[in-house]
Amino acid sequence: MQRVTILGATGSIGVSTLDVLARHPDQYGVYALSAHSRVDELAVQCRQFRPARAVVGSAEAAARLRQLIADLPTEVAYGEQALCEIASSSDTDTVMAAIVGAAGLAPTLAAARAGKKVLLANKEALVMSGQLFMDAVREHKATLLPIDSEHNAIFQSLPAHYAREPEAAGVAKILLTASGGPFLKRAVGTLEQVTPEEACKHPNWAMGRKISVDSATMMNKGLEVIEAHWLFGAPADRIEVVIHPQSVIHSMVSYVDGSVLAQLGNPDMRTPIAHALAYPERIVSGVAQLDLTTMAALEFHAPDFQRFPCLALAFDALRAGGTAPALLNAANEVAVQAFLDRRIGFRDIDRVVRRVMDEEAHGAASSIEAVLAQDAQARLAAGRIVDGLART
Residue 199 and residue 213 in contact, taking contact as beta carbons nearer than 8 Å: yes
Q: Is 224 within any annotated ligand binding site?
A: yes
Q: Is 192 within any annotated ligand binding site?
A: no
Residue 325's SS3 state is helix
Q: Is 149 within any annotated ligand binding site?
A: yes
Q: Is 179 within any annotated ligand binding site?
A: yes
Q: Is 208 within any annotated ligand binding site?
A: yes
Q: Is 90 within any annotated ligand binding site?
A: no
For the purposes of burial, counting CB atoms within 10 Å of the CB of 121, is it exposed (0-12), middle (13-18) or buried (19 or more)? buried
Which run of H or E residues covers position 260? Answer: strand 260-264
The strand pair at 117-120 and 94-97 is best described as parallel
Q: Is 227 within any annotated ligand binding site?
A: no
Q: Is 221 within any annotated ligand binding site?
A: yes
Phi-psi region of 8 (alpha: psi -120 to 50; beta: other; left: phi over 0): left
Using the 8-state DSSP alphabet, how is residue 142 labeled?
-
For the purposes of burial, counting CB atoms within 10 Å of the CB of 71, is it exposed (0-12), middle (13-18) or buried (19 or more)? exposed
Distances (CA, A) of 112 to 144, 350, 370: 8, 32, 19
Q: Is 220 within any annotated ligand binding site?
A: yes
Q: Is 116 within any annotated ligand binding site?
A: no
Residue 362 and residue 322 in contact, taking contact as beta carbons nearer than 8 Å: yes
With CA atoms as reference, report the closest residue to 302 among 173, 177, 217.
177
- 12-22 and 39-49 are packed helices; what angle lies between their axes, rounded to 10 degrees? 10
Report how far residue 330's alpha carbon sits from residue 195's, in angstroms, rounded to the nearest whole number: 22
Q: Is 10 within any annotated ligand binding site?
A: yes
Q: Is 265 within any annotated ligand binding site?
A: no
Q: Is 360 within any annotated ligand binding site?
A: no
Q: Is 202 within any annotated ligand binding site?
A: yes
Q: Is 150 within any annotated ligand binding site?
A: yes
Report how far residue 200's alpha carbon sits from residue 216's, in angstroms, rounded to the nearest whole number: 8
Distances (CA, A) of 47 to 15, 30, 75, 145, 244: 14, 12, 13, 28, 40
Binding residues: 10-13, 122-124, 148-150, 179, 202, 208, 215, 220-221, 224
Binding residues for 1-deoxy-D-xylulose 5-phosphate: 123, 149-150, 179, 202, 215, 220-221, 224
Binding residues for NADPH: 10-13, 122, 124, 208
Binding residues for Mn(2+): 148, 150, 224
